Structure 1
Amino acid sequence: MVKTVIFDMDGVIVDTEPVHKYAYYKHFSELGIDVSEEMYASFTGNSTRNVFQKLKESFTLQHDVEELILRKRFLFNDAFDTKEDLELIDGVRKLIVDLHGNGMQLILASSASKGTIEKVFNRFELHPYFTHTVSGEDFPQSKPHPAIFLHAASLSVAPIEHCIVIEDSTNGIKASKAAGIFCLAYNSINSKLQDLSEADHEIAHFDAINYQIISQIKQR
């Protein structure tokens, strides 16, 4: 029986992807580099640090990675603070409240920075529902490496076999499976360039699941 649900954040709880994309591409323009849609899609689930490490190698950038990170975060924060139509993913608050109300432990494991996580959790008042928030900036390797999910599972009130992950990206699903955790894929409009085939189950809307359904999921 599932005791802990580990949520990804971007694309699963809140759709900050358009804000991230705006910030990244504004930064790419400043740097004078041409990043294709395919290359950008391959970064999904990666921390900002790992994205710029890859870009530094691909485009032989002379900038320091930390400098690049700070500039992108400035552009993101500026856009985030002025974007009034930023909302939670449809149906996810109802699911979070339902799971929490029935005693399910909720943990966040996101590649986003601690600052971004705090901005989202404060804006939408999510802290009361989650026992822990885990940021990808604390790990040297991003998803698809399983480190972030293994750490999140170590914070669970139950053994890892009683945890599940909710993800929406190829890298996130690979990380979940590499950690040996059941993965439920959320197939959204933003997942069209993502391969969800390795997930154990797939949904197109959060209304398709609730506490009763999730609690009975069994690890394969």
Structure 2
Amino acid sequence: MKAIIFDMDGVIIDSEPLHCKLEREILKELGGKITEEEHNAFIGTTDYHMWSILKEKFNIKKPVDEIIQMKKERFIKNIHMLNLVDNVEEFIEKLHKKGYPMGLASSNNRKIVNLIVNKFKLDKYFNVIISGEDVSKGKPHPEIFLKTAEKMGVEPHNCLVIEDAKNGVIAAKAAGMKCIGFKNPNSGEQDLSQADLIISSYDELDLNTLKGLFN
């Protein structure tokens, strides 16, 4: 293990409930409605991917870029409501003290990623920060993880990814990386079965456990 890559939403910040609330409100305003199960299938993907599919499904007239902007503005207005996932900063601090390079690979847009990083003062931990706007293909495609590893100068097979969503786990494994599935109850019923290890709390992790995944 030479580097650790974190997803952001649902892994570092407990933001999925806010995302889902705003997306459902906007979809309702635009004349559409989806079940919780259908919504959960989009967790971990980019806004562009999700809204492109919903636009076609419900014959929405508003351009995708405008819908994404609506969501972005509402999310930013509510950013004060967000908190870090329990014990995640202590875990990141441990890795940082041991000198492990860390990357952030979020499907969220660059503006929100930067706002979250600044709000919680996370920039001191991450060597590389990649957003959904920095790639052409969203998760479950592995591009975001491969790009993060490349920017960090680490071979994919030496990277460990921490993800809370099925799409993210699939992307990490497709990138040839080890993956820990973080079972966040606020991220919906996610199938994390392809992960090398599934946890429900960062208290379950120590360096020996992480290194053991590479043996």
* TM-score, normalisation: structure 1: 0.93
Matched with 2:32 is 33
Matched with 1:170 is 166
Moved over 3 A (4+): none
Report % sequence identity.
38
Q: Give the aligned residue type for 1:43.
A: F
Residues of 1 paired with 2:31 and 2:162: CA distance?
A: 36
Residues of 2 paired with 1:204 and 1:171: CA distance?
A: 18
Unaligned 5+ segments in structure 1 are: none
SS, match of residue 166 in structure 1: strand
Q: Give the aligned residue type for 1:122.
A: N
Query: What CA deviation, in whole Å up to 9, does each residue of 1:48-91 have, x standing for no partner?
Result: 1111101111111111111111111111111224x2xx211111
Shifted more, 51-60 versus 152-161: the winner is 152-161
User: After the TM superposition, which residues 70-85 of structure 1 pair with which residues of structure 2 at under 5 Å, given as runs?
Assistant: 70-81=69-80, 83=81
Shift of 1:25: 1.7
Unaligned 5+ segments in structure 2 are: none
RMSD (CA atoms): 1.4
Whether contact under 8 Å (1:99, 1:210) holds in the other structure is no
Whether contact under 8 Å (1:102, 1:211) holds in the other structure is no
User: After the TM superposition, which residues 5-154 of structure 1 pair with which residues of structure 2 at under 5 Å, given as runs?
Assistant: 5-81=4-80, 83=81, 86-154=82-150
Shifted more, 190-199 versus 180-189: the winner is 190-199
Shift of 1:192: 4.3
Residues of 1 paired with 2:143 and 2:153: CA distance?
A: 18
Shift of 1:172: 0.3
Residues of 1 paired with 2:29 and 2:76: CA distance?
A: 17
SS, match of residue 195 in structure 1: coil
Whether contact under 8 Å (1:164, 1:184) holds in the other structure is yes
1:158 equivalent in alignment to 2:157:
no
SS, match of residue 196 in structure 1: coil
Matched with 1:206 is 202
Query: What CA deviation, in whole Å up to 9, does each residue of 1:120-156 have, x standing for no partner?
Result: 1111110000001100122222110111011111123
SS, match of residue 127 in structure 1: coil
Q: Give the aligned residue type for 1:94.
A: E
User: After the TM superposition, which residues 182-197 of structure 1 pair with which residues of structure 2 at under 5 Å, given as runs?
Assistant: 182-197=178-193
Residues of 2 paired with 1:191 and 1:62: CA distance?
A: 29
